[in-house]
Amino acid sequence: MNLLPTATATAPGPGPGPGPVAAATAAPTSASAHATSPQAGVFITFEGIDGAGKSSHIGALADAWRDRGRTVTLTREPGGTPLAEKLRALLLADAMDPLCEALLMFAARRDHVCNVIEPALARGEVVISDRFTDATFAYQGGGRGFDWQVLHTLEGWVQALPDGHTRQPDLTLWFDLTPAVAAQRLAGAREPDKFESESAAFFERVAAGYARRCHAQPARFARIEADQPRDKVWADVLAAVHTHGCWQGQPGQVA
C-alpha cells in the first residue's frame, strides 16, 4: 500500500481535523508489509475525464486479479457505500457552489474510506476504485477552480491513518484523452449528468488538473494513452500494473 507521509500543509494538527480512520479497520501501516506478505492489500484507482473509456477496463482488471486468486473489492466514487451513493445522487444532479461540492465529495469519501476501502485493504484484498481523490483535484480544483490547498487539507483529514500517513492509491491509471475526442465518444451515448454537461473549457481545465496531480505524485501514476485501440489500452493497463510492482505484491516499487 502506498503510505505517503502527511505533508505539513495537510496534517490534521490541533485544528478541527477529524482524526484518523478508526484503528480497528485500518490497514497495516508499514510499507514493509509488502515484503513479508504476498497478500498485502493493493489499492488501484482509475481516473480520467468523462468519456476517456476507463469503464470496460475496470471490470477486466478485477477479473485479472481474481484469476490470480485474489479477492477484489470493486468500487467507485463518489459512492461505494449506501450513504455515499445518496451523496452521489445529489452531486451528479444538483447545482451547488464549489465549496459545497468539494465538501460533499470528501464527506462521501470519508464514509467510503472508513467502511469499504480500509477494511478491505486490512483483509489483504485488492481494492479497485473507479475514481478517488485525484478526481476532486481535477474536477473541483481544475474544473471549478477551487482552492488547491484547501483540497490538500481535506485530503489529509479524510485519508488520515493512525500513524500520521495519508492513504493514497498504490497505482493510479490515468486515462488521458483530449477533451474533444472524449466529447465525441460521449455524444448521444446517454442523458448527460451535471458534470458531463459541462463545457469543453471545463474539461480542458479538468485534464490540466489531472496532469498537475500526475506531475506532483509521478511514482504512483501511470498515464494511459486512451486514444488507442481497446486491446492496446488494455495491454498498457496490464503493463502498468506490472511495472508498478502490484502483481508482485510490492506496489510502489516501480520496476
Q: Are 74 and 62 in contact (CB under 8 A)?
A: yes
Q: Using CA atoms, how far apart are residues 40 and 61, in angstroms rounded to an integer? A: 18
State the Cα–Cα distance between residues 18 and 16, nearest whole angstrom: 6
Specify the pairing of strand 2-5 against strand 165-168: antiparallel
Pick one of 118, 130, 155, 170: the residue that binds ligand TYD (CB under 6 A).
Answer: 130
Give exposure, 188-200, as e/b (b: 16+ Cβ within 10 Å).
Answer: eeeeeeebbebee
Q: Is 249 in the site for ligand TYD (CB under 6 A)?
A: no
DSSP 190: S
Which residue in the block uniquely carries the three cell numbers 481535506?
154
**How many Cβ atoms from other residues are within 10 Å of residue 176's Cβ?**
17
Q: Is 247 a binder of ligand TYD (CB under 6 A)?
A: no
153 binds ligand TYD (CB under 6 A): no
Rank residues 40 and 120 by Cβ distance to ligand TYD and give the closer one. Answer: 120
Q: Which is nearer to ligand TYD, 37 or 184 (CB)?
A: 184
Shortest Cβ 51–ligand TYD spacing (Å): 8
Which residue's C-alpha cell is 502490484?
Answer: 246
Give the one residue of 4, 135, 158, 214 binding ligand TYD; rule: CB under 6 A.
Answer: 135
> What is the chain's length?
255
167 binds ligand TYD (CB under 6 A): no
Please tell me whether residue 34 binds ligand TYD under the rule CB under 6 A. Answer: no
165 scored as a contact of ligand TYD (CB under 6 A): no
Please state, in angstroms and rounded to a whole number, the distance separating the CA atoms of residues 65 and 3. 22
**To the nearest whole angstrom, how small is the minimum distance from the Cβ of residue 76 to ligand TYD?**
5
| Stretch 183-202 residues interacting with ligand TYD (CB under 6 A) | 195-196
Q: Residues binding ligand TYD: what is the number (CB under 6 A)?
A: 14
Residues 40-79 touching ligand TYD, rule: CB under 6 A, are 50, 76-78
Torsion sign over Cα 160, 165, 168, 169:
negative
Query: One symbol per residue from 72 to 111: x for binding ligand TYD (CB under 6 A), - otherwise; what is it?
Result: ----xxx-------------x------------x------
Residue 46's DSSP bridge partners are 130, 173
The piece of 3-11, 111-119, 132-140, 243-251 that touches ligand TYD (CB under 6 A) is 132-140
What residues are paired with 74 via a beta bridge? 128
Give the residues lining the site for ligand TYD (CB under 6 A): 50, 76-78, 92, 105, 130-131, 135-136, 139-140, 195-196
